[in-house]
Structure 1
Amino acid sequence: MKLAALLPLLLLAACARPLPQGVTELTYATPYSPNHPFSKADQAWMRFVEKRSGGHIRIRPIWSGALLSSDMSMEELRHGVADVGLITPIYVRGGTHLIRIQTGFYSGADSIASQVALYRCIAAASPEIGKELHGLKLLAVQGGSLAGIVTTDRRVRRLEDLRGLRLRAPTELLTVLESLGVDAVNMPMGDVYSAMAKGVIDGVIAPGDTFRSLHFAEVSRHYNTLAIPRGAYPARAMGLARWNSLTPQEQAILNESQGVWEAALETEIHAALEKGMDEARKQGVTIDGMSRAEQARFDALYLRDSEQNARSLSRFGIDGLSPFRAARASVRARDQIECKGGSA
């Protein structure tokens, strides 16, 4: 192993301290600072675990990417670089094809709770999800606020108004937007502010929390609340080897903590959205909705594209259609989820 790869482990060992007899310490690593909304949810989880265990389990947080990397966190957890960590399988370059694609199956799941429920339906319908999470014990699933359309100068009131705009969008939305006449581009979210300020792009597909968290209210004038679906995904995990080293009592507490962690994430994401929309109104950003007919048209385009993406997984030897169909069957009515399809 190269020296650079060993440094985090050496630093961790150097920081280790003797523990009282009978106390288990778990390291938790995240790329975010302690003040980020995700980290506030993480701290709520830590407090629960420590209190529920009567101090028997201690969580030692390592913030701001000091231990785990963003794109290799799953592999690092498998190898014990940290005990527990934030994972982003939707950004991993290989080995999580279905987890990435399934985030496009969520039309109709408008709340975070329904997104998390639908993820579980999808995972139950496909053993491939478990294969892509091999070597990990899942501790929390995360959803998110629905994205809308942030624009600098052009006010968007219908889908036709998107034609000719150059918008930053996530990869899964590029072809949908292109079918609406958008010049859709992908770039790191950290570059979007300056790109809008300089006129390089006309806007971005993003949730309302970004008006504050990324200061988009300073460089945009309009926002349309078109409900652009948001998928849930595995977001917190533990290396399976470390999990297997715990006692049954410790495992039971961590299993119980999953609901606490997911509820805390939902609370913090909602709070961030409210703060972001308050900032948009404070800065005079106009906020428009989309008609039901236009929303239905967008949903149809989105689902068509999602099914095509599901079919495309066959080139990796993955059945994407079964979980796609299970997802669609599980959405009984908008935001109402009831698992259908069983295990594939």
Structure 2
Amino acid sequence: MLVVTLSLCGCAGQPSSGKHAVERIELTFGTQVPSTHPEGVATLAWIDKIKNETDGQVNITPYWTSTLTSEEEIFEEIVRGVADIGSIGSACWAPHGFDLLKAQGMFYYGIVQPEICRYIDSEVCTKFPEIDAEFSDVKTLAKSTVSTFHLATRNSPIRKAEDLKGLTIICPPQYIVPIIEMGAEGVFIPYGEAYMSLEKGISDGIICPFEALKTYSLGEVVKYVTRLDFSLGPMPMVGMGLECWNNLPADIQRVFENNVEWYGLEIENHFAQADQDGIEFANKQGVEFIELSVEELDKFYEVMETLALKEAAKLDEKGLPGTEIFREIRRLYDESA
């Protein structure tokens, strides 16, 4: 809840009559990640930056690991004001809504360069305002690419697409259907529960970013990691409820707006570093990293393209420009590659 208090401030050596009232703005930040997570580390730096650039007027208190907001409903909770600000990137896992955001998980496959992702996103969002409209109930304070996803397995090295057949793979929701199409069983469970599932042999593998090999200690329970570079594309990562935003003074709003790009890049950079840390951690555990041939990787991407077009057609039926967005993303990537 936004709290505004007044305090008296004045220049040193001046009489008390020279003091003036200054608003102190207290904001809450809800997130499902810990302070050590790449987004959490970036958020702490951003909180300090906002405080410094508002001369101490704005103080943001973070609530980590879902102690104020939930992972499943955080977007709605930010809209309702449960917290003033929050991590809204988890909207891509929400069971309802955000159809275009979820489709990105299939549309951006193989696009790994952050600068190209940002360029494509800027062009596509300008051409198709329906994308940003999904987040019109909040003020976006950071937009960022995140780590790409790969396939980590316990005992079965994946050196070709056929090696997936018969395996049970933990997946983000976007990748369950592609994994099923490749002959495996796709299941969704939170990453926090993945370690036990893999350790006990309930699951054979997991689609995850490199950083999860360390942050969730998955490098201890897998022997192989096959690089796939499945990308979710850029997405709004942090947002503020509109009621809270509209109650902020204009000069404070400008400080937040001037830091949107910085915050997004800070998140991106910390994810990149966390990926490197994950690779180093897994190497120390003796994990083998597998690079597929172009021909084998294309087998994965051909499945992704087929399913992406089907998903785009479903969006078309809902009155959204799904096929146009997919083709524009791939066209811009082909031109940039």
Q: Report TM bin, short chain.
A: 0.7 to 0.9
Matched residue of 1:23: which SS? Answer: strand
Further displaced range: 264-273 or 79-88? 79-88
**TM-superposition CA deviations, 1:140-173 (whole Å, max 9, x none):** 1132222111111112222222223221222222
Give the CA deviation at 1:94.
2.0
Kindly provide the amino acid, as one letter, of the partner of residue 324 in structure 1: F
- Is structure 2 residue 308 aligned with structure 1 residue 280? no
- Given that 2:144 and 2:236 are in contact with CA atoms closer than 8 Å, whether structure 1 keeps it comes out as yes
Rg comparison, structure with higher value: 2
Select between 73-82 and 213-222 the one with higher mean Cα deviation: 73-82
> Which residues of 2 match residues 236-247 of structure 1 at below 5 A?
236-247=238-249
- Residue 211 of structure 1 is matched in structure 2 by 213
2:62 match:
61
User: How many pairs align?
Assistant: 322
Per the TM alignment, residue 17 of structure 1 is displaced from its structure 2 partner at its CA by: 8.8
Residues 226-241 of structure 1 mapped to structure 2, 5 A cutoff? 226-241=228-243
Displacement of 1:292 in angstroms is 1.4
Residue number in structure 1 paired with 2:16: none
Aligned-partner Cα distance in 2 for 1:255–1:75:
22
Q: CA 1:27–1:187 in 2, change beyond 3 Å: closer, same or farther?
A: closer
Matched-pair contact (CA < 8 Å) for 2:105–2:230: no
* Between 181-190 and 210-219, the greater mean CA deviation after superposition: 181-190
Query: Partner residue of 1:147?
Result: 149
Q: Select between 41-50 and 30-39 the one with higher mean Cα deviation.
A: 30-39
Q: Contact 1:108–1:333 at 8 Å: present in 2 too?
A: no
Question: Which residue of structure 1 lines up, in the alignment, with residue 33 of structure 2?
Answer: 32
Given candidates 290, 304, 307, the residue that maps to 2:306 is 304
1: CA distance, partners of 2:315 / 2:176: 17
Which residue pairs with 1:291 in the alignment? Answer: 293
Q: How far apart are 1:127 and its partner, in Å?
A: 2.7
Q: Deviations over 1:203-250 (max 9, x none)?
A: 111121121111112211111123223332211011112212222221
Query: What's the C-alpha RMSD, in Å, of the aligned pairs?
Result: 2.2
Q: Which has the larger displacement, 314-323 or 202-211?
A: 314-323
Q: Distance in 2 between matches of 1:136 and 1:117?
A: 23
Q: Is the aligned partner of 1:331 residue 2:333?
A: yes
Aligned twin of 2:95:
93
**1:315 CA drift (Å):** 4.4
Is contact 2:165–2:183 with CA below 8 Å preserved after alignment? yes
Q: Is the 8 A contact 2:116 2:333 kept in 1?
A: no
What's the CA shift string for 1:263-321, capped at 9, x where partnerless? 11012111211111111110111111111122223222212211111111244343322
Residue 186 of structure 1 corresponds to 188
Residue 25 of structure 2 is aligned to residue 49 of structure 1: no
Q: Which runs of 5+ in 2 are unaligned?
A: 8-21
User: Are the aligned partners of 1:151 and 1:202 in contact in 2 as well (CA < 8 Å)?
Assistant: yes
Instruction: Output the TM-score relative to the length of structure 1.
Output: 0.86
Distance in 2, matches of 1:91 and 1:172, equals 8
- Tell which deviates more after alignment, 278-287 or 103-112: 103-112
Q: SS of the residue aligned with 1:141?
A: strand
Deviation at 1:109, TM superposition (A): 2.0
SS in 1 for 2:107: coil
1:103–1:232: 8 Å Cα contact kept in structure 2? no
Aligned mates of 2:229, 2:137 — CA distance in 1 = 35
Report which stretch shifted further, 187-196 or 107-116: 107-116
**Matched-pair contact (CA < 8 Å) for 2:4–2:26:** no
What TM-score, normalized to structure 2?
Answer: 0.88
Report the Cα distance in structure 1 between the residues aligned to 2:86 and 2:264, rounded to whole angstroms: 14
Q: Give ranges in structure 1 of 5+ residues lacking alignment.
A: 1-11, 337-344
Q: Is the 8 A contact 1:168 1:192 kept in 2?
A: yes
Moved more, 115-124 or 242-251: 115-124
